[in-house]
Every structure is written in structure tokens, then in C-alpha cells.
Amino acid sequence: MTRWFKKAYIYSLVAEQTDTCSLAPAFNEQTVMAKLSYVPTPSSSNRSFPLVIVLTLLVLVSLTGCQSIRSIFHPEKTKPVEDFDAFYDRFHADESFQRSRVRFPLGGMMVEEGDEIPWTRKNFPTMKVRIYDVDTSEYKIEYQKEKTRFTQRVWLEDSEFSSEYRFELIDGKWYLVYVLDVS
């Protein structure tokens, strides 16, 4: 029996017996030798040719595609990703929902008359106005929507007033994670 064929057979046995598809030996030497004594050897007949092909495929699967093959038979359940626009509308309409979606400790701070005040659950105000509804004749606005982040900024020209809010997608849900409010 060829050395390659013995290795192919051993690797296919190991792949069948291990959960991780690693090539770490799952058998001791005595067990492997016992298994090898029953290994059919390829001959010139047409019957053994399909066996060689099957064993070769088993080795290739065990070396390269175990996780992808497993994913076909045991697909991981993916969490649905929350739609940002629906979240954003509800965030501004429902105060209890808004409180549940602010991640404390909240990044950023409130700056009033030079004092930097960190955000707490007690001093964080309820947000009622969406960035799309801000009066742009008085305020300047800027927002950027990305796949996992939404940043909005509102400011008054020629004044010290500005605010910046950042929402991030965390485990399939949107959260407010940063607020800088300077007045």
C-alpha cells in the first residue's frame, strides 16, 4: 500500500472522529495500525478507483472545508439587524424606548460655561427632535449614515452652541453611545 494512501485513510478517520476537524490524532498508534490492516489497497481494477477518489475527497474536506461543510448541515442562526430608520423614529417618539437604548456610561459630556459634566441617567435629557426636523434656517446640521454608525451634528454659526450624537449598531440593535453638548 502506498504511503500517501495510508495517510489519506488515517486523516479521513481522524476527521470522522473529531469535532474540530483538526488533524490531531484521535487514535493511538495501536488503533491506527489495526485500522490500517483493513484498508483496501488500490489496484488496477476499476472497482478501487472510486474508493481512492472518495478517500481523497474526504482528506480534502477534512483539511480545508470542515467549517464550511458543517455550516451547510448546521447553519448558525444569524440575528436580524434592526433597521436604523425605524429605530430612529421610535427612539424620538417613545421615551421609555429611548432610555433603554442609551448605553451608559455614555461617551462624551455636557459642557456648560466651561464646566465638563459627564452624562448620567439622571442628567441626560430626552431627545425629541430628529435631525431631519431641525429648523435649518436657524441651525446648521450635518449627518452621516454608515452601515454600523450614524453621526449627527447641530450647531449655531457664530456661537459656541453645538451638539454631536453618535449611534452604533451593537449585536444587531442600535444604541446611542456618544453625546457632546456644548452650550
The helix, strand and coil proportions of the chain, stated in percent and rounded to the nearest 5, come to 35, 25, 40
Q: What percent of the chain has pLDDT over 90?
A: 53
C-alpha 103: how far from chain center: 19
Domain 84-182 class, CATH top level: alpha beta
Report the alpha-carbon distance of residue 6 to residue 148 in Å, rounded: 50
Confidence band of 24 (pLDDT split at 50, 70, 90): very low
Burial, 153: exposed, middle or buried (Cβ in 10 Å; 0-12, 13-18, 19+)? middle
Asked whether the predicted pLDDT for residue 12 surpasses 60, the reply is no
- Mapped onto helix, strand or coil, the DSSP state of residue 111 is strand
Cell of 116: 465638563
Residue ranges of domains in the chain:
3-73, 84-182
Contact 166, 176 (CB under 8 A): yes
Please give the DSSP secondary-structure letter assigned to residue 82.
Answer: P
- Considering 4-13, 71-80, 119-128, the range whose residues carry the highest mean pLDDT is 119-128
As a whole number of angstroms, the distance between CA 10 and CA 22 comes to: 12
What's the pTM value of the predicted model, to 2 decimals? 0.59
Predicted confidence band at 63 (pLDDT cuts at 50, 70, 90)? Answer: low
The answer to whether 165 and 178 have CB atoms below 8 angstroms apart is yes
